[in-house]
Chains A and B, each alone.
Chain A
Amino acid sequence: MQVTKIVSSVDIKKSTENLNKCCDVCQRAKQMKNKFFVSDFRASNGFELIHCDLWGPYRNISSLEHLIF
Chain B
Amino acid sequence: MFFSMVECQFNKQVKIIRTDNKTNFTCMKFYFLENGIIFQISCMGKPQQNRCVERKHQHILNVLQALRFQGCLPIDFWGECILTAGYLINRISSSVLNGKTPYRVFYGCDPTYDHPRVFGSLCYAHKQGTLGDKFDSRSRRCIFVGCPYGKKGWHLYDIDQLIFCLMKCQVLINKFSFCLSS
Once A51-B56, A62-B78, A63-B80 are accepted as A-B contacts, the answer to whether A46 and B10 lie under 8 Å apart by CB is yes
Q: Among B15, B79, B82, which residue has its beta carbon within 8 angstroms of that of A49?
A: B15
**Interface flags, B117-135, vs A, CB<8A=1, else 0:** 0000000000000000000
From B49, which residue of chain A is reached at the shortest CB distance?
A36
B177 lies within 8 A of chain A by Cβ: no
**B95, chain A: closest CB distance, angstroms:** 16
Interfacial chain A residues near B66, Cβ < 8 Å: none
Main secondary structure of the interface of A (DSSP, over half): loop
Of chain A, the residue at the smallest CB distance from B164 is A63
Tell me whether A52 and B77 are in contact in the complex, defined as CB-CB below 8 angstroms, given that A46-B105, A47-B10 are known contacts.
Answer: no
Contact A62–B52 (Cβ < 8 Å): no
Interface footprint category on B? 20 to 34
B6: CB under 8 A from chain A?
A: yes
Q: Which residue of A lies closest to B38 (CB)?
A: A49
Considering the complex, give the chain B residue whose CB is closest to the CB of A48: B15
A46-B106, A63-B164 known; A52+B76 contact, CB < 8 A: no
Cross-interface CB contact of A51 among B12, B13, B15, B18, cutoff 8 Å: B18
Other 12 A-B pairs with CB < 8 A, given A47-B10, A51-B53: A36-B49, A50-B17, A52-B18, A52-B25, A53-B19, A53-B54, A54-B22, A58-B78, A60-B76, A62-B76, A62-B79, A64-B79
Give B residues with C-beta under 8 Å from A: 6, 10, 12-20, 22, 24-25, 48-54, 56-57, 61, 75-80, 82, 105-106, 164
